[in-house]
Amino acid sequence: MNKQAKITAVVLMLGAFISVLNQTLINPALPTIMEELHIEATTAQWLVSGFTLVNAIVIAISAFLMDRFRTKQLFLSIFVLFLAGSLLASWGVNFTVLLIGRLLQAICAGIMMPLSMTIILLLFPHEKRGSAMGMYSLVIMVAPAIGPVLAGVLTDKVGWRIMFLVMAVLAGAIILLASLIMKNYGDVKQTTLDKPSFTMASLGLLALLYGFSLLGNISMILTASALVLAGVVILFLFVRRQLSLTQPFLQIKVLGNAQYRNGTIILMLIQASLAAATITLPIYIQTVRGMSATVSGMVMMPGAILGAVFGYFAGKLYDAFGARYVGLFGGFLLLLGSLGMALFDFDTTIGFMTAAYTLRSVGLMLANTPINMWSIKKLPDEILHHGNAVGITLRQVATTLCTAVMVSVMSFASSVYAAKGEIQSQMYGISMTYWLSVVIGLVALILVAVKVKNRKKTVAAVTEAVYELDIAMRADPYTVSCDDNLKQVVEKFIGYKTSGLPIIDAQKHLIGFVSDGDVMRYFTKQDLRFVAEFYSAVIPDTDTLNSKARKLLSMNVMEIASPNAIAVSHDTPLLEVCEIFSRRKINKLPVTQNDILIGTISRGDIMRALMTRLPLGGEDCL
DSSP assignment of 527-582 equals: -EEEE-SS-EEEE-----HHHHHHHHHHSBGGGTSBSS---EETT--HHHHHHHHH
- The more confidently predicted of residues 102 and 556 is 102
* Predicted pLDDT of residue 534: 43
pLDDT for the residue numbered 133? 63
- 15-24, 79-88, 439-448, 607-616: the lowest-pLDDT one: 607-616
Region of poorest pLDDT, from 173-177, 395-399, 432-436 = 395-399
CA distance 278 to 27: 6
Of the two residues 93 and 529, the one the predictor is more confident about is: 93
Going 490 to 492 to 495 to 501, the CA torsion angle's sign is negative
Q: Mean pLDDT throughout 218-241?
A: 89
- Whether 486 and 560 have beta carbons less than 8 Å apart is answered as yes
In our burial notation (b when 16+ CB lie closer than 10 A, e otherwise), range 391-402 reads: bbbbbbbbbbbb
Q: Is the pLDDT of residue 364 over 90?
A: no
- Where helices occur in 346-420 by DSSP H, the ranges are 350-375, 384-416
Q: Is 50 exceeded by the pLDDT of residue 593?
A: yes
Question: Does pLDDT of 313 surpass 70?
Answer: yes
At 88 the pLDDT is 96
pLDDT band at 442 (very low <50, low <70, confident <90, very high): very high
pLDDT, tens digit (0-9, with 9 covering 90-100), for 374-406: 887 777 655 655 676 677 778 878 887 888 888
Query: Which one is predicted more confidently, 46 or 392?
Result: 46
Which pLDDT value is given to residue 265? Answer: 93
Predicted confidence at residue 464, as pLDDT, reads 42
Closest-CA residue to 437 (of 228, 281, 608, 242): 281
Q: What is the pLDDT of residue 274?
A: 77
Helix (H) or strand (E) holding 504, with range, is: strand 500-504
Range name among 63-67, 137-141, 226-230, 437-441 with the lowest pLDDT average: 137-141
Q: Which residue has the higher pLDDT, 131 or 536?
A: 131
Cα(124)–Cα(6) distance, rounded to whole angstroms? 9
Residue 389 or 49, more confident:
49
* Percent of residues, the chain, with pLDDT higher than 70: 87
Structure confidence at residue 531 (pLDDT):
42
Considering only CA atoms, which of 102, 109, 108 is closest in space to residue 50?
Answer: 102
Tell me the per-residue pLDDT of 131-167, one tens digit each, with 9 for 90 and over: 666 677 667 777 877 888 899 999 999 999 999 999 9
> What is the reported pLDDT for 533?
44
Give the pLDDT score at 385: 58
Do the beta carbons of residue 608 and residue 472 sit within 8 Å? yes
Q: Residue 620: what pLDDT? A: 45
Q: How confident is the model at residue 622 (pLDDT cuts 50, 70, 90)?
A: very low
Q: What is the mean pLDDT of residues 219-232?
A: 88
CA-to-CA distance for 461 and 598, rounded, in angstroms? 14
Q: b or e along 309-348 (b: 16 or more beta carbons within 10 Å of the residue's beta carbon)?
A: ebbeebeebbeeebbbbbbbbbbbbbbbbbbbbbebeeeb
Residue 508 has pLDDT above 90, yes or no: no
Average pLDDT over residues 243-252: 81
What are phi and psi for residue 341, nearest 5 degrees? -70, -30
Separation CA 371–CA 447 (nearest Å): 11
Supply the mean pLDDT for the chain: 82
Quick check: 298 pLDDT over 90? yes
What is the pLDDT, as a whole number, of residue 382? 56
Q: Please say if the pLDDT value at position 456 is more than 70.
A: no
H/E stretch holding 513 reads strand 510-515
Instruction: For residues 491 and 619, give the distance between their C-alpha atoms in angstroms, rounded to a whole number.
Output: 47
Enter the pTM of the model. Answer: 0.67
User: Which pLDDT score is estimated for 137?
Assistant: 67
